[in-house]
Amino acid sequence: MTEDAILQAQATIDAAWIGGGLTLLAALIAAGGAIYGGVKAYQSAVRQIALAENQHKAKVRAYRFHIKSIMRSIEVVADAELESCDVALQEETERGYTTDLEIPNELTPSEWENHALLGVDIIERIEQVYAALRDVELFFQPPIGDVDAEREVWLRLQSAARLAQGAIAVHESLD
């Protein structure tokens, strides 16, 4: 082998080492970039999840507050009904049949998805309040035929008391 051939072989070997080293360096840089990109994507996903959780918690808090305010107004209606029945019993008079009692749409069974935000025990209590509201609403309708006035007042009294107890239970559960 001649000296030129040896020099040429040595140059080829050196070039291969340089090329391999640069290729390895490029691979390491690419791997570092991929790892950095993966870390950033993970951090972004964690932030997105935290944001979604915070939005959900805010929705639950807002709905909880809304239901609490509805229960407060129902307590007022129930207290007024209890007082009216008490006066009717004491004075032995018949009570009028007009009222602006309306069952809030938020308490209807069709709002089950929103109720589910509050938990099973509160759902059951809301259903009890809804049923009591329906009973009280029935008593605000004019009677059909002969009605025992005292018995009717006692039934209204029981319904209003049940309504007040239910509203208070929901209100306390939401605290």
pLDDT for 98: 44
pLDDT for 55: 93
- What are the DSSP calls for the chain, one per residue? --HHHHHHHHHHHHHHHHHHHHHHHHHHHHHHHHHHHHHHHHHHHHHHHHHHHHHHHHHHHHHHHHHHHHHHHHHHHHHHHHHHHHHHHHHT-PPP--------GGGSGGGHHHHHTT-HHHHHHHHHHHHHHHHHHHHTSPP-S---HHHHHHHHHHHHHHHHHHHHHHHHHH-
Which of 41-45, 70-74, 98-102 is predicted least confidently? 98-102
pLDDT for 155: 67
* 12 compared with 93, residue with greater pLDDT: 12
- Measure Cα distances from 9 to 5, 18, 57, 102 in Å: 6, 14, 71, 98
pTM score, whole prediction:
0.60
* 123 compared with 91, residue with greater pLDDT: 123
Mean pLDDT of the chain: 79
The total number of structural domains in the chain stands at 1
Instruction: Write the burial class of residue 115 (CB in 10 Å: 0-12 exposed, 13-18 middle, 19+ buried).
Output: buried
Residue 154: give the domain boundaries: 3-174
pLDDT for 153: 62
Which of 65-69, 78-82, 137-141 is predicted least confidently? 137-141
**pLDDT beyond 60 at 146:** no
User: What CATH code is carried by the domain that includes residue 161?
Assistant: 1.20.120
* 128 compared with 40, residue with greater pLDDT: 40
Instruction: Write the burial class of residue 127 (CB in 10 Å: 0-12 exposed, 13-18 middle, 19+ buried).
Output: middle
Model confidence at 82, in pLDDT bands (50, 70, 90)?
A: confident
Please, which residues have CB within 8 angstroms of residue 96's CB and are 6 or more apart in sequence? none
Q: Mean pLDDT across the stretch 91-112?
A: 67
